[in-house]
Amino acid sequence: MNEQKNLDQLCAQFGYDMAKEVNEAFEKATDAENLITKSLGVLQENGVYAFFLYLASQIKEKKDDREEKKSKAARALANQAASLLKHEWLNLIQVDDGEDGYKKAMEEIRGKDGLASKLDQLLLAKRLLEQALIYARYHAKALEESK
């Protein structure tokens, strides 16, 4: 029997995980919601690669306490997004898990025969990331209101 895959449920789970990890990194739900909202805006306006590039730009090497939290949150969000795209149901990218999985995802997207060269898969990736980030934003808002 062919099992049906519910991609919306997958996005909901990843959205929850994104919000949880970003919120834990910031320790403040409004900061988590802000990063998720900005990232969603970049994704919607500029696409999948720009989304990962934006998050990479938020990860700083030399950092004070605030920048360290923001870097940790951006890394968590980017790695969760990469995990969504590499999920066994999708296999849109082939990357290993790890602290810098997002860097490998960026290479995979822009590489020869990468995700950026496959329009249908790229559009699917964008739509799934949008849905997961929308759920993440609502989860972050719910975390903020529950405090």
pLDDT per residue over 74-108, tens digit each?
999 999 999 999 999 999 998 877 777 888 999 99
For the beta carbon of residue 133, count every other beta carbon within 10 angstroms: 28
Report pLDDT for 2: 52
Mean pLDDT of the chain: 91
All domains of the chain, ordered by start, with CATH?
A: 8-145 (1.10.520.30)
Q: What is the DSSP letter of 64?
A: -
Contact 52, 83 (CB under 8 A): no
